[in-house]
């Protein structure tokens, strides 16, 4: 049996739906572990899949939730604070305690080098630190593993391109006198991918996890694009002028605090944010890997393929996971 976590999130829900739609794993061999079982969609419940309560903050619930499984699909917890590693550790310890022998973990691609890169990695991106610690802890646990290092989601481009105001009044007024302001603390080429593509590929990996024992799989998407490139594409797509400036990190942080780019209670996150740009400028994500295309059996979506969606007013700035930094 495979226990699945994070099935109401962007990656986990698509992974599960891929498994179900393609009948990649019998329903009887699947189990959902969720802290809020009431939030699982009705169409998933109607499949008859086993659903158990498992809360990462309550380790005793995890052992009950994971019992009887052979493999655990562990979606990384959506926080960039210290709690992220602690909660991952709770899941890994519970899995080991009840006899699970394999963990499939969703990581990030900062500091990586492509699929099958087994070398210990380092990164100057603060967002990568909990992932690096989690990968190491899994490796030391005695369990086998599949690590899926994922590209940054393309729809989050604006977090890397200066927190532009994408409200309808801003992006629809191409004649506005004042350009939007994009202030970055560094820049460089990086890989990006469509989240649904990543979720679909992840579902295929989960269903075939025995082919990927003790493997690192890197899903990079099809192209390298910088923050400046994103701004250029945004301007081309919307006609809205943007002034782009790349400045030292502390100057960028001060500008965004003064500009109210993120909610005041999240301003401490900006040091973390600046480290992503430093890592990208260093080349930590300046590589491509063919594995995503191979798993999908088609070309992954490019940024231009998603332009209507990601450059529109409906793609509001997403800072909900930046609390607790």
| pLDDT tens digits, 173-204 | 555 668 999 999 999 999 999 999 999 999 99
Residue 297: inside a domain: no
Beta strands 224-225 and 190-193 are antiparallel
Q: Do 77 and 199 have their domain in common?
A: yes
Residue 295: inside a domain: no
Domain count, the chain: 2
Structure tokens at 264: 């005041």
Q: Do 11 and 96 have their domain in common?
A: yes
The CA-atom distances, in angstroms, between 47 and each of 15, 29, 224 are: 15, 12, 39
The CA-atom distances, in angstroms, between 204 and each of 1, 45, 306 are: 16, 21, 23
Structure tokens at 49: 């899949």
Residue 323 pLDDT > 50: no
With tokens 């790349």, the residue in question is 246
In percent, how much of the chain has pLDDT > 70? 92
Residue 172 pLDDT > 80: no
CA distance 131 to 234: 31
Q: Do 9 and 149 have their domain in common?
A: yes
Residue 293: inside a domain: no
Domain of residue 230 covers: 155-191+223-286+302-317
Structure tokens at 163: 């927190």
Q: Do 170 and 67 have their domain in common?
A: no
Q: Do 139 and 266 have their domain in common?
A: no
Q: Do 137 and 269 have their domain in common?
A: no
- pTM beyond 0.75: the answer is yes
Q: Do 34 and 92 have their domain in common?
A: yes
Residue 114 pLDDT > 50: yes
Beta strand segments in 46-199, E: 50-53, 71-74, 102-108, 144-150, 152-153, 180-184, 190-193
Q: Do 57 and 159 have their domain in common?
A: no
CA angle 323/321/212 to nearest 5° reads 135
Q: Do 92 and 6 have their domain in common?
A: yes
Q: Rg (Cα) of the chain, in Å, rounded?
A: 20
The CATH number that applies at residue 94 is: 3.40.50.720
Residue 115: inside a domain: yes
Q: Do 51 and 136 have their domain in common?
A: yes
The CATH number that applies at residue 162 is: 3.90.25
Q: Do 132 and 175 have their domain in common?
A: no
Q: Do 147 and 235 have their domain in common?
A: no
Taking only the tens place, the pLDDT of each residue in 215-246 is: 999 999 999 999 999 999 999 999 999 999 99
Residue 298 pLDDT > 90: yes
Residue 254 pLDDT > 90: yes
- The average pLDDT across 126-131 equals 94
- End-of-domain residue from the set 219, 236, 270: 219
> Are the C-beta atoms of 31 and 69 separated by less than 8 Å?
yes
């Amino acid at each position: 049996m495979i226990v699945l976590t994070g099935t109401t999130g962007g990656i986990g829900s698509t992974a599960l739906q891929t498994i179900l739609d393609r009948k990649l794993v019998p329903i009887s061999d699947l189990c959902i572990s969720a802290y809020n079982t009431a939030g699982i969609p009705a169409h998933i419940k109607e499949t008859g899949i086993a659903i158990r309560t498992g809360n990462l903050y309550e380790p005793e619930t995890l052992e009950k939730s994971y019992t009887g499984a052979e493999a655990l699909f562990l979606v990384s917890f959506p926080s960039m604070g210290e709690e992220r590693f602690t909660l991952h550790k709770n899941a890994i310890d519970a899995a080991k305690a009840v006899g699970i022998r394999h963990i499939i973990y969703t990581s990030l691609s900062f500091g990586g080098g492509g699929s099958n890169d087994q070398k210990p990695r380092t990164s100057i991106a603060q967002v990568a630190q909990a992932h690096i610690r989690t990968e190491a802890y899994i490796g030391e646990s005695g369990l086998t593993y599949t690590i899926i290092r994922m590209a940054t989601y393309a729809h989050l481009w604006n977090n890397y391109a200066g927190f532009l105001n994408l409200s309808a009044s801003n992006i629809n007024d191409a004649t506005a006198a004042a350009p939007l302001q994009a202030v970055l603390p560094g820049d460089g080429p990086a890989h990006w991918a469509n989240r649904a593509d990543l979720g679909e590929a992840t579902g295929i990996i989960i269903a075939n996890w025995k082919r990927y024992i003790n493997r690192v799989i890197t899903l990079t998407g099809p192209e390298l694009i910088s923050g400046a490139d994103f701004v250029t594409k945004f301007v081309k797509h919307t006609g809205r002028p943007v002034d782009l400036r790349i400045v030292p990190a502390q100057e960028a942080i001060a500008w965004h605090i003064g500009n109210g780019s993120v909610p005041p209670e999240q301003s401490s996150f900006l040091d973390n944010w600046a480290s992503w740009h430093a890592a990208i400028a260093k080349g930590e994500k300046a590589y491509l890997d063919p594995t995503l295309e191979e798993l999908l059996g088609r070309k992954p979506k490019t940024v231009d393929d998603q332009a209507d969606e990601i450059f529109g007013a409906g793609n509001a700035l997403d800072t909900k996971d930046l609390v607790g930094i």
